[in-house]
Each structure stands twice: as structure tokens, then as C-alpha cells.
Structure 1
Amino acid sequence: MATSWNVDFLQPRPQDASPTGKRALIILNQPFSESLFLRVWGASQWHCCADGGANRLHDALPAERRPLFLPNLIKGDLDSIREDVRAFYEALGVPVVEDEDQYATDLMKCVAAIHDKEVEEPNEEEYDIVLLGGLAGRLDQTIHTLSYLHKLRKTRKRVFAATDENVGWVLDAGEHTIHVDHGLLGPTCGLLPVGVASTVLSMTGLRWNLSNQESSFDGLMSTSNQFLPGEDSVWIKTTSPIWWTAELRGV
């Protein structure tokens, strides 16, 4: 049976609308537009800033609106958060937690906090996780995002990374159906064999489909593929985990 995917959390929504589903947002230390921020914030029930992500949240909003968007937690080694930002959120009751573990990144520490929250809650349903950032800026940080989400597929069902240009996530080995909103996604998309020697891909619903084709860094990669107008879903079968990315428009 194919795993079903959609990116409804990126849809514009009224400010007073309640989140649908169980979703946690992690704000990373990368720039983002207010439009994208409002979409993913409003679609999430729980909000966390990874260290310097608190600076991004603070600076993205005018002073009068900042108290309306308070994260549930700020966590990391706290070497990036500015003193004025820390003082602002602490004065409004936001927990700021220092974690000095040098073998874990700030992103990893925030994911651990989500796990701890899930353990404490009576409902065993896990949170979908949305990273605001992670696919832009420094190359080493982008590679960390690719690597960490590749590993997280073993323990979590759905972890997305979104920037103003792209949204991406890991498709584990097997079959997947991705529901396409053409007003939100496209025209380009790609399948990236990151973290695996190779995979064998089949797909339908794209301009350039493959059928039992090997894909690897040393060989063929389906980058700069395109959605087909009128097709409302893409079917993908992969023998190994692979990164799926899609261009965002109208955000």
C-alpha cells in the first residue's frame, strides 16, 4: 500500500483557524518570509525555536505583533540567540533551555524535546514535524538537514523541511502517492538519492517518468523534473530511501 503525502500545512489560512492534525514546528536560524511563517505557524499546535531561530522569529515581526507569536520552547546551546531576544521571550514566560551536548545540533535537541513531549502526553499519536528552514544558507547545515531527516525516517513518520523556495522530505523504500496542489507546488520537482549508493525508481504523473531505472550520484538523477498540468498526484516507487523536493510558488 502506498504512503500518502500532502503539504496542506503550506496552504494560506485565516489567522483564527485551528490547526488540523498534530503538528510541531521547529524554527531554524535561517531567513524566511512572513507569509511562509504565518502558514506553518498557524498549521502547527506546538512551536519551538532552535537557538538562533528565536532571533529570526523576533525580527520577522513588528514589535506590536511579537507577543502574539510566542514559541512553547527555545532550546539549544544558546550561542546564537541575542541577549535582547532571550530577555524578551523570558519576560513573557517562554522557557529558554540550554543544552550543552556538543554531539547534538540545535535541531536534534528540539526533536528530542518533541519526543519528550509525546512521552508525557496520553495520546500516543506522534507529531508531524515541520522545519522552517534547513534547505538554504550554509551548505554544511543543508547537508546536516538532508542527513538527519534521512536518519529520522527510521523513528518518525513525517518530517518536512520548508523554505520560501522549496519543500522537501524523505521517501522511505516502498510506494508513495504525493497529492499535488498546482497552485502551491511546481513547476519543478526532483528525486535525490542522498545517503544511499543507489536506488531503483519508478514514477508516474511527472513530465519525465522512469520505470525501474537505477538512480545514483554517479549515474542518473531525476532533478529538474516537472509536474504535469492536470495531474493531481504523483506515484513513486523506490527501492531505497530518497529525498523528494518540490518548488514552492505563491508563498
Structure 2
Amino acid sequence: MEVVHHHSAFLLPPAPAGHRTSLSYALVVLNQRLPRFAPLLWQHANLRLCADGGANRVFDEMPALFPDEEADVIRNRYKPDVIKGDMDSIRSEVMDFYIKLGTKVVDESHDQDTTDLHKCVSFIRDFTSDLDKSRLCILVAGALGGRFDHEIGNINVLCRFKNMRIILISDDCLIHLLPEGKSHEIHILPSVVGPHCGLIPIGMPSKSTTTTGLQWNINGAEMHFGGLISTSNIAKEDIVTVHSDSDLLWTISIKKPQDRLQIVIWDPNDGSENKENLHILITYLPIFPVVGTAISRIFHHGEEDCHSDEPNSPHNNGILVVDSHG
């Protein structure tokens, strides 16, 4: 049976070349509030699309994540490659701004049978070669929260494109599809996600679902609405395995900064700390590029020397950001 591996590495700063995941990311921004880690998702993506009014969100809200920089500097830096949709939400001045920067605008106002997310996923599918589709993962920012009918429409896109990796993301959680008939291994990064999670049958009842790695595992049980579904579960292991005879939605919480961060004052020359046991957390640092660069280097290389050549790096002052639960 095919084993499918699922990761949340996109919530960590990109690894240096040669250490990166085999996945290739595309980002779709919808017309909901940007998650606080939107710059990090942007950094991971090779292709960035705004679904109609998602362009307003990037234009208005991305500068607020960089309060020490000029708004237009940020707007020029975070320029979408494509804006696509029925164009009933994007403001004219936002469209004009990005067109002048070279963004491609695809007006599909004639198509009222599909959502803007569906239109963007279709564009990415057609844009990507068959060779690369097996490595493609689409991150959808602003997919959850707001109107419930919009959320259901976004979940329906997961089912319409069930052979593509698509992850719906908000500030609070992520959701993706676990297609039936495969063995799924979900690799938990406890510094950034969990522990709260759920497995929900979608489209049809599951006659048999089996899991490992959860506080309340399922052992061949049937799941359906009106009966058993697994919500408010807890991820207990670093790997959660799932096998089901029908499609399931997997959801897991994304930790807030106050749940994840603490500052440790550490003298690298003191020798009192075991550096190998420091689980360095770097997910909230795209807003602070110098810090993120310095800590990412250590996280991905496991360097013994914590000194950084970045002039304002906290490592030169012996400050590390680490997992508060580690």
C-alpha cells in the first residue's frame, strides 16, 4: 500500500540549499485576514497567486507585519505573480498598482460556477508540468474563518482536486485531505503545531478507520456525521498514522507565539547548556529577518558555534529563541 508522508515544514524558515524538502510550494492568498506568518509562506513559495480580493489583503496587511519599514517597500517586495478570480472584490487602485509591477491579471468573471480558489488551483495545475505535480504542495492562506459557506467551498476544493496536495491555513489551524486507500504518516512538529487535532469523514461515511499516535486512537471503527467523528483529539506522538476506506479531513492546531516562545539568555562560552538539547524554534521569525536567518542556520545545520556573522544577531549577545515546551 502506498505510504503518503505529510509535513508542516512550511511553518519553519526555508532550509539552506541541499537541506530542503523535496516538495515545491505554491501559495494562494484568499480574501481573509493574513495569518501572522504570511511572509514565511511567501518565502517558501515558488509561485504566488492572489484570489481576487486576496490582493487587497496583501496590499493592506502585509506592511503591518513590518512596522519598521516603508509600506511601499513591502508592497514592492511582496508582489504576487498572478491575480485571478471573478474580480468582484479587488479594488481598482490595488489592481493598477500590481499591474505596474508586472503581475499577471486573469479575469474570469464569466465563470460563476467555480470559486476563486478553484480558479487559482486550476491555474497552478495547468501551470505545473506533469513531472513536478507529484512534488507540488499548494498552501492556501486565509482559507478558514469568516463566512461558513466560504469555508465549505474551500473544503470542497480539497475534494475536487483530491489528487493534489492542498493545505488550508489560518492563524489557528490547518486542514488537508487524507485520500482513501492510502497509508498516511503525519509528521508532527510539536514546536509549531498541535496538540489538538481531528479526523473528519468527508463526502461519505468511513466504514473502517485505524490510527496510531493519538491520545484517543481509532481501531477499525466506523465514522460518520450523526455518529462518531474524531474531534478534540490530541497528537501524542511525533508521527500519527491514519488508514481509512474513505476520504478524511485532517486538522491540527497551529500554536500561537505565546504558546511557543521563550527567551533563554545563554553565554556560548559558559558551557553550562547542552546545545544538542536545545530545540530551536524559528517559526515566528520571518517578521524579524536577521534573527530568522541566524537561527535558521543553526537549526538546519546543528552548528556547534552559535556565533553569528549578522551584525545585530541575538546570537552575538548569547540570546536564543527556543521551544517553550521543549
The normalised TM-score by structure 1 is: 0.91
Residue number in structure 1 paired with 2:10? 9
**Which runs of no fewer than 5 residues in structure 2 stay unpaired?**
64-70, 258-283, 285-326
Aligned length: 243
Residue number in structure 1 paired with 2:86? 77
**Letter matched to residue 171 of structure 1:** L
SS at match of 1:45: strand
Pick aligned residue for 1:27 from 21, 26, 29:
29
Residue number in structure 2 paired with 1:166? 173
SS at match of 1:30: coil
Residue number in structure 2 paired with 1:181? 189
Residue number in structure 2 paired with 1:139? 148
Please say which of residues 6-15 and 239-248 is displaced more in the overlay. 6-15
Cα distance in structure 1, aligned partners of 2:171 and 2:12: 13
CA contact (8 A) 2:34 2:58 kept: no
> What do the CA deviations read for 1:67-111 (whole angstroms, capped 9, x no partner)?
001111001111100111111111111111211211121111111
The normalised TM-score by structure 2 is: 0.70
Structure-2 change in CA distance of 1:136 and 1:61 (3 Å):
same
**Which runs of no fewer than 5 residues in structure 1 stay unpaired?**
none
Cα distance in structure 1, aligned partners of 2:235 and 2:33: 27
Offset at 1:19? 7.4
CA contact (8 A) 1:15 1:42 kept: no
**Letter matched to residue 37 of structure 1:** A
5 Å-filtered alignment, 1:20-169, equals 20=21, 21-33=23-35, 35-62=36-63, 63=71, 64-100=73-109, 101-119=111-129, 124-126=131-133, 127-153=136-162, 155-156=163-164, 158-169=165-176
SS at match of 1:214: strand
Q: Is 1:233 the counterpart of 2:239 in the alignment?
A: yes
Structure-2 change in CA distance of 1:204 and 1:114 (3 Å):
same
Structure-2 change in CA distance of 1:28 and 1:15 (3 Å):
farther
**Letter matched to residue 52 of structure 2:** D
> What do the CA deviations read for 1:43-75 (whole angstroms, capped 9, x no partner)?
110000000000011111222211001111001
Cα distance in structure 2, aligned partners of 1:247 and 1:199: 26
Cα distance in structure 2, aligned partners of 1:215 and 1:42: 38
CA contact (8 A) 1:19 1:43 kept: no
Q: What do you get for the CA RMSD once the two structures are aligned?
A: 2.1
Cα distance in structure 2, aligned partners of 1:221 and 1:11: 30
CA contact (8 A) 1:198 1:217 kept: no
Structure-2 change in CA distance of 1:19 and 1:38 (3 Å):
farther
Cα distance in structure 2, aligned partners of 1:93 and 1:57: 16
| Identical-pair percentage | 37
Cα distance in structure 2, aligned partners of 1:36 and 1:22: 18
